[in-house]
Every structure is written in structure tokens, then in C-alpha cells.
């Protein structure tokens, strides 16, 4: 089995040192081997769960936590805004 | 007899009869926490001041003659993945080390309305991923029956605190066995309710289609009391069922006459330890002599459940945990020169190894070219497992199985073998996959003196039946003996 750890890490927004990569690669292979054990069944139909209909609530503003309270958890703030690195080059 | 040793049922009556105050009770539990914590390490945060303040408030309400909820004044612990306004909620992860939720989970609103006393937040496997509570970034919780052993997981703090008398009852969450397996390992009662009966609003999401908040306690009635307090419709959780619930604790009869208890042979296979099988059979036989009938049933796809579970849970986790990016809340790395590096380094420094493994597995099974082979096939396997349960419930009213294949293992024994660790969940994941209620009750001990858990599984919304059956066994067998874990 060949799992491209580097590609998966990129998709997952994670990075690994070469040693970690080797360790993860071995572990992932064993885990994938475990989860591959699935029955032969027809998996071509749609996947819906009619026994579990969801009820959506009306789109109404309620119980809004205030801005200061929300910003208290932000890693870096300035003038009531969250500071982030430059997004568009 | 100290107050912390008693059950919520007994304490609720004592409080109502003014035989003790909530302040005295809370003091007693806090003293117990102080004495046992260095050894057990169940709590990540203890809110002694706030707990005492709340206890005094409840005592005043009672003195003023207010009509109070049965849980009013009862001190309880909360798993640290349930958002508590103004109290740190870390999920035992570095990435949420300093996160203070600006809102309460729905279950917390319900508990506050019931005037429960909140003692603090309980240790767990990081993001509820694990079966031993060894995946916590902060500390390893120990099993009160033998501190060389794990308490199980992921709700290890929730189970250990209750078994050590450091909380009267607690809340946990269960995605693949995370309430039932630690309850079994710590010799207490734990309920994973029917999916959709308890709101997940404010529960930090691991696998949203499987996650469910539930209760842990030293008696069946205690668990029923907490479940009654937290279940119910919440418009903030779109999957929450529109339904009325009875008072489960008051409804317990302990009568099993005429009930058909199914014994699925696949749950007693060669992977299950002999001591465990023996103890579980003893419970089954006792229920039979109390008037129930034992019926053999078959759930042939049980062998595939673990695969389906890890695929579905990891797929959802990889998507749910994408929100931890170092932008709006939580840990942010200091080491970056652009946005992508900030994301990658934040997540690589903030998540532990098991969380990374599940994010990677989830990304793998959802990635282009693998989706049909893994994720879609797992979802169809899930439907087949649900069908098999439905068929089994035509022949019986509930199922009785071991909760876990073995009793607790030594700390460190399985940390390097993920596959072995995942096998701990083999008898519990089916319940989450099918959305059913499952209850673990203590049913004896193995040769090492460690508790064995017996699992009861019922059709959706059959919690009352599970409580009745567990209560029948509890009455015959005697309740939890806190004296046994006092040493």
C-alpha cells in the first residue's frame, strides 16, 4: 500500500518532520489496513436518512454575544478587529 | 459516612428534607477533590469558589420555600469538551488551552436551570479521540480501583471523578464508546442516549453524526436523573428530536418480567476475555431469574462496524477540526512568515499525535479516488448495521453484551499500538453507528479486582427500558461501593 503522507499532510494543513513522516506512514498503513475490512455491498445508491429529518430554525438574530466577549479568545486583536497575516499577495 | 459518598438520589432527598445543605455537601466533595486529585488527576479545572457560591444560592432558594429540581444543589463535574460560559473549555488540547467560551452549551443551560452545582471540568482524550484518557495534552487520569491502570476514555475524567467520590454525577460524551467504556473500567453506570435526544449545541464537535452527550453516576437512578434534566428539543441543534420525554428517574420500576433480552453471539467472540464473559453471563442469568427471557440473536455485520466507525468518525473529524486554524480563537503559532505557514504550524504545534492521525485518516478516506472505496462504502455498511439491529429488535426488547472486550489496561500499555487501542471500542461503536441508546452497568470483577461492564442496548428512545433492566440488576447485586475505591 502506498499512502502519500506528504500530500495528505498538505490537504490537512499539517506538517511533519522527516522522522515524524516515517513514523506516521507506518502507523497510517496499519490503520488503513484495519479500516479496509468492509463488506462487499452495492454502494451505488443515494445516501439519505429519511428517518432523521432535520428541522431548521428561523433565521433570526438572538442571544448575540457581544464583540468584546468574542474577541477575548482571539490570538491577536487591534481596534476591535482580529489581526491576521496578509491574505492576498 | 461523608456526604460525598452518597448517591444523587439519596442526597436530593436529604437536601429536600433539610438534613444537609448544598453548601455542606459541596464542601464535602471539594475536600474529597483536594484529597484525591494528586492521585487521580480527573479535573482540568476546579471552580471551588463558583461552586460554593451556587450552593449557597440554592440553599437560600430552598430556605425561601422555592420548588426546586431534584438535581438542585447536587455537585457535578463536566467533561471539558462541553462549553461552559466563563470557564475554560480545552478539550484537553493545547490548541484550546486558553479558550473561554462566551456561551453555555444547551445542556449547561438546562443544568443551570435545574440549579445543579458545577464543580469543574474533567480530563479526557484530546478532542474525545482515544480510549484511555492518555491522549490528554495536560495529564493522565488514573483508575480509582488501581492507579496503575487507565480509567478508559475518552470520558476518563468523568468516570474516574465519580468512581473516586470527586463528583456525585458527571457529564461525558460518547462518539464510539467514550461514556460506556470508561464507566465499565471504573465500575460505574454510564448512559449514551439515543442520538438526537440530547442537544449537541456547545459540545465541541468530533463526529457530529455520532456524538452524543450523556450521564455517568454511581447508581442507575442518578444517571436517569441527569438524563431527564439534559434531554429535550433544542432549536440550535438541527438534529435534535421534536419529542416529549417522561421523568425517567421517577418512572423506574425495576421490573423485567416478560422482557425478552437478546444475546448477540457476535459480542461474545474469542476476542472477549473469559472473566468478562463470565461476569456478563451472571448478570444475564440474574435477569432471567427475575422474570426476563434470554433469546439468542445475530448481528452478522458486527465485524465491519469498527471499520465503518473509524472511517465515518475520522472523515467528520477532519472536516470539523478544520476550524482550528489559529485565526479567531485558540492557539496561534509564533513561527510563520505567511498565512499558509500560520495554519500549518498552528495546527502541527496545537494538535497531539492521535488527533493528527484521525485528521489524516479522514482526509485520506474523503480524498479524490478514495471516497467511494472508503467513505461511501462505510456509510452503506452503516445502513446494513442499522437494518440488522431493527431486525434483532423484532425478536427481543433489548440486547445484553459486554461493554468492552476486557477490563482496564495498564497506563502506557497500548499507547504505541493504535490498532490494539481501537479494538477497545469494538463492542460499543455499533450503538453510535445505529444511533441507539446504550447503557453500561457494573457486573462484577475480573481476577485482578478490576470492574467489568455489561452493556444494554435498546431501540431508539428506549432509555426507560434500559434503566428498568439495569435497576433490576442493581437491586439484586447491590449498588456501587465507594468504600472499595477509598484506599
pLDDT of residue B401 exceeding 80: yes
Is residue A62 pLDDT above 80, yes or no?
A: no
Is B240 a catalytic site residue?
A: no
**A5: nearest CA partner in chain B:** B360
β-bridge mates for residue B456, sequence order: B400, B439
All residues of chain B having their beta carbon less than 8 Å from the beta carbon of residue A9 are 360
Confidence grade of residue B240 (pLDDT, cut at 50, 70, 90)? very high
Average pLDDT of span B334-350: 97
The Cα–Cα gap between A17 and B122 comes to: 32
Q: Which of A11, A14, A74 sits opposite B348 (nearest CB)?
A: A14
Q: What is the pLDDT of residues B73-128, one digit of tens each?
A: 999 999 999 999 999 999 999 999 999 999 999 999 999 999 999 999 999 999 99
| Number of other CB atoms surrounding residue B314 within 10 Å | 28
Predicted confidence at residue A49, as pLDDT, reads: 65
pLDDT confidence band for A64 (50 / 70 / 90): confident
Q: Please say if the pLDDT value at position B339 is more than 70.
A: yes
Report the gap between the CA of B216 and the closest CA in chain A (Å): 27
Stretch A38-44: mean pLDDT = 83
CB contact under 8 A, A75 and B103: no
Q: Facing residues of B173 across strands?
A: B213
Q: Which residue of B has its CA nearest to A35?
A: B307
Contact yes or no for A28 and B361 at CB 8 A = yes
A84 has a pLDDT exceeding 70: yes
Q: Does the beta-carbon distance from B196 to A30 stay under 8 Å? A: no
Q: Is residue B485 pLDDT above 80, yes or no?
A: no
Among residues B153, B166, B176, the alpha carbon closest in space to that of B217 is found at B166
Whether B272 shows a pLDDT value over 70: the answer reads yes
Within 13 Å, how many C-alpha atoms sit on residue B12's CB side? 21
Q: Do A85 and B336 touch (CB under 8 A)?
A: yes
Measured distance CA(B222)–CA(B217) in Å, rounded: 6
Distance from the Cα of B349 to chain A's closest Cα (Å) equals: 9
Nearest chain B residue to A64 by CA: give it.
B103
Residues 6+ apart with CB under 8 A from A73: B98, B99, B100, B102, B328, B329, B330
A35, B363: Cβ pair inside 8 Å? no
Cα(B422)–Cα(B80) distance, integer angstroms: 22
Choose the closest CB to A8 out of B303, B351, B363. B363
Is B102 in contact with A39 (Cβ distance < 8 A)? no
Give the residue on A whose Cα is nearest the Cα of B301: A39
Contact A9 B360 (CB under 8 A): yes
Query: What share of chain B in percent tops pLDDT 90?
Result: 93
Q: Nearest CA of chain A to the CA of B391: how many Å?
A: 16
Residue B160 host element (H or E): helix B156-163
Higher pLDDT, B199 or A54: B199
What is the mean predicted confidence (pLDDT) over A4-28? Answer: 93
pLDDT per residue over B410-448, tens digit each? Answer: 999 988 888 888 888 999 999 999 999 999 999 999 999
Q: What is the mean pLDDT of residues B25-39?
A: 97
The widest CA-to-CA distance across chain A, in whole angstroms, is: 58
Average pLDDT over residues B290-302: 96
Beta bridge partners of B225: none
Rounded-to-integer distance, Cα B98 and Cα B140, Å: 19
Contact A38 B304 (CB under 8 A): yes
In chain B, residues with a C-beta closer than 8 Å to the C-beta of A87 are 339
Q: Residue B368: is its pLDDT beyond 90?
A: no
Which residues of chain A have a CB within 8 Å of the CB of B106?
A: none
Residues of A in contact with B361 (CB under 8 A): 28, 31-32, 35
- pLDDT, position B407: 97
B301 is catalytic: no
Give the distance between the most distant pair of CA atoms in chain B.
70
* Secondary structure (H, E, C), chain B: CCHHHCCHHHHHHHHHCCCCCHHHHHHHHHHHHHHHHHHHCCEEEECHHHHHHHHHHHHHHHHCCCCCCCCCCCEEEEECCECECCECCCCCCHHHCCCCCCCCCHHHHHHHHCCCEEEEEECCCHHHCCCCCCCCCCCCCCECCECCECCCCCCHHHHHHHHCCCCCEEEEEECCCCCHHHHHHHCCEEEECCCCCCCCCCECCCCCCCCEEEEEECCHHHHHHHHHHHCCCCCCCCCCCCCCCCCHHHHCCCCCCCCEEEEEHHHHCCCCCHHHHHHHHHHHHHHHHCCCEEEEECCCCHHHHHHHHHHHHHHHHHHHHHHCCCCCCCCCCCCCCCHHHHHHHHHHHHCCHHHHHHHHHHHHHHCCCCCHHHHHHHHHHHHHHHHHHHHHHHHCCEEEEECCCCCCCECCCCCCCHHHHHHCCCCCHHHHHHCCCEEEEEEEECCCCCEEEEEEECCCCCHHHHHHHHHHHHHHHCCCCHHHHCC
Rounded to 5 degrees, what are φ and ψ at B102? -85, 10
Predicted pLDDT at B255:
96
pLDDT at B395 over 80: yes
CA distance A75 to chain B (A): 6
User: Mean per-residue pLDDT for B274-293?
Assistant: 97
Q: What is chain B's percent helix, strand, coil content, to nearest 5? A: 45, 15, 40
In sequence order, the 6+-apart residues with CB closer than 8 A to the CB of B363 are A8, A11, A12, B318
The model's confidence at residue B61, banded by pLDDT at 50, 70 and 90, is very high
What is the pLDDT at residue A40? 85
Paired with B117 in beta bridges are B75
Per cent of chain B over pLDDT 70 is 99
pLDDT band at A46 (very low <50, low <70, confident <90, very high): confident
**Is the bond preceding B410 in cis, omega lying within 30 degrees of 0?**
no
Test the A interface: residue of B361, B365, B367 with most A CBs within 10 Å:
B361
Q: Tell me: pLDDT of B344 over 60.
A: yes
Q: What CATH architecture applies to the domain B3-261+463-485? A: Alpha-Beta Complex (3.90)
The domain limits of chain B are 3-261+463-485
Split at pLDDT 50, 70, 90, the class of A52 is low
Q: How confident is the model at residue A59 (pLDDT cuts 50, 70, 90)?
A: confident
Catalytic-role residue among B22, B131, B154, B219: B154
- Give the mean pLDDT of chain B: 96
Is residue B46 within 8 Å of residue B105, measured between CB atoms? no
- Coil, helix or strand at residue B413: coil
Per-residue pLDDT, A53: 67
User: Could you give the ipTM of this predicted complex?
Assistant: 0.92
Identify the band that residue B309 occupies on the pLDDT scale cut at 50, 70 and 90. very high
Please report which confidence band the pLDDT of residue A44 belongs to, taking 50, 70 and 90 as the band edges.
confident
The active-site residue out of B79, B110, B121, B460 is: B79
Catalytic residue among B28, B178, B301, B471: B178
Total CB pairs under 8 A between chain A and B: 144
Amino acid at each position: 500500500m502506498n499512502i502519500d503522507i506528504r500530500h495528505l499532510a498538505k490537504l490537512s494543513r499539517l506538517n511533519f518532520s522527516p522522522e515524524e513522516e516515517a513514523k506516521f506512514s507506518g502507523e497510517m498503513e496499519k490503520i488503513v489496513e484495519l479500516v479496509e475490512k468492509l463488506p462487499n455491498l452495492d454502494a451505488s445508491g443515494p445516501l439519505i436518512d429519511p428517518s432523521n429529518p432535520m428541522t431548521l430554525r428561523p433565521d433570526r438574530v438572538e442571544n448575540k454575544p457581544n464583540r468584546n466577549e468574542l474577541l477575548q479568545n482571539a490570538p491577536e486583536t487591534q481596534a476591535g478587529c482580529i489581526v491576521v497575516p496578509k491574505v492576498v499577495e | 459516612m461523608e456526604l460525598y459518598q452518597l448517591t444523587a438520589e439519596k442526597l436530593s432527598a436529604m437536601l429536600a428534607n433539610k438534613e444537609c445543605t448544598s453548601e455542606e455537601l459541596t464542601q464535602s466533595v471539594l475536600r474529597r477533590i483536594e484529597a484525591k486529585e494528586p492521585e487521580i488527576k480527573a479535573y482540568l479545572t476546579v471552580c471551588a469558589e463558583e461552586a460554593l457560591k451556587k450552593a449557597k444560592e440554592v440553599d437560600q432558594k430552598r430556605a425561601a420555600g422555592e420548588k426546586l429540581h431534584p438535581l438542585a444543589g447536587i455537585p457535578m463535574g463536566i467533561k471539558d469538551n462541553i462549553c461552559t460560559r466563563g470557564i475554560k473549555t480545552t478539550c484537553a488540547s493545547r490548541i484550546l488551552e486558553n479558550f473561554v467560551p462566551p456561551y453555555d452549551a444547551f445542556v449547561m443551560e438546562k443544568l443551570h436551570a435545574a440549579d445543579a452545582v458545577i464543580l469543574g471540568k474533567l480530563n479526557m482524550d484530546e478532542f474525545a479521540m482515544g480510549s484511555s484518557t492518555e491522549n490528554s495534552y495536560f495529564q493522565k487520569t488514573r483508575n480509582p480501583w488501581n492507579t496503575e491502570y487507565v480509567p478508559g476514555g475518552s470520558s476518563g475524567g468523568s468516570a474516574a471523578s465519580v468512581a473516586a467520590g470527586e463528583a456525585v454525577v458527571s457529564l461525558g460524551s460518547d462518539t464510539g464508546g467514550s461514556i460506556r467504556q470508561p464507566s465499565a473500567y471504573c465500575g460505574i453506570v454510564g448512559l449514551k442516549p439515543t442520538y438526537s435526544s440530547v442537544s449537541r449545541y456547545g459540545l465541541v464537535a468530533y463526529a457530529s453524526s455520532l456524538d452524543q452527550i450523556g450521564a455517568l453516576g454511581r447508581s442507575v437512578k442518578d444517571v436517569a436523573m441527569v438524563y431527564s434534566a439534559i434531554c429535550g428539543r433544542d432549536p440550535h441543534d438541527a438534529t435534535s428530536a421534536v419529542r416529549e420525554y417522561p421523568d425517567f428517574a421517577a418512572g423506574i420500576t425495576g421490573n423485567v418480567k416478560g422482557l425478552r433480552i437478546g444475546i448477540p453471539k457476535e459480542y461474545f467472540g474469542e476476542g472477549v476475555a473469559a472473566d468478562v464473559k463470565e461476569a456478563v453471563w451472571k448478570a444475564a442469568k440474574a435477569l432471567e431469574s427475575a422474570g426476563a427471557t434470554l433469546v439468542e440473536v445475530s448481528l452478522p455485520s458486527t465485524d465491519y462496524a469498527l471499520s465503518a466507525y473509524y472511517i465515518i468518525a475520522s472523515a467528520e473529524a477532519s472536516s470539523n477540526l478544520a476550524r482550528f486554524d489559529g485565526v479567531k480563537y485558540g492557539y496561534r503559532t509564533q513561527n510563520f512568515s505567511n498565512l499558509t505557514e500560520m495554519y500549518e504550524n498552528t495546527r502541527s504545534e496545537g494538535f497531539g499525535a492521535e488527533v493528527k492521525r484521525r485528521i489524516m485518516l479522514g482526509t485520506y478516506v474523503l480524498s479524490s479516488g478514495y471516497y467511494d472505496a472508503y467513505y461511501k462504502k462505510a456509510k452503506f455498511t452503516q445502513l446494513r448495521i442499522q437494518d440488522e439491529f431493527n431486525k434483532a429488535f423484532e425478536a427481543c426488547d433489548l440486547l445484553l453484551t459486554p461493554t468492552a472486550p476486557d477490563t482496564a489496561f495498564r497506563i502506557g500499555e497500548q499507547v504505541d499500538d493504535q490498532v490494539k487501542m481501537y479494538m477497545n471500542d469494538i463492542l460499543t461503536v455499533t450503538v453510535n453507528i445505529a444511533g441507539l441508546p446504550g447503557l453500561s452497568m457494573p457486573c462484577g470483577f475480573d481476577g485482578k479486582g478490576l470492574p467489568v461492564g455489561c452493556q444494554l442496548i435498546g431501540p431508539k428512545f428506549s432509555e426507560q427500558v434500559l434503566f428498568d433492566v439495569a435497576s433490576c440488576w442493581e437491586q439484586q447485586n447491590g449498588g456501587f461501593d465507594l468504600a472499595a475505591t477509598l484506599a
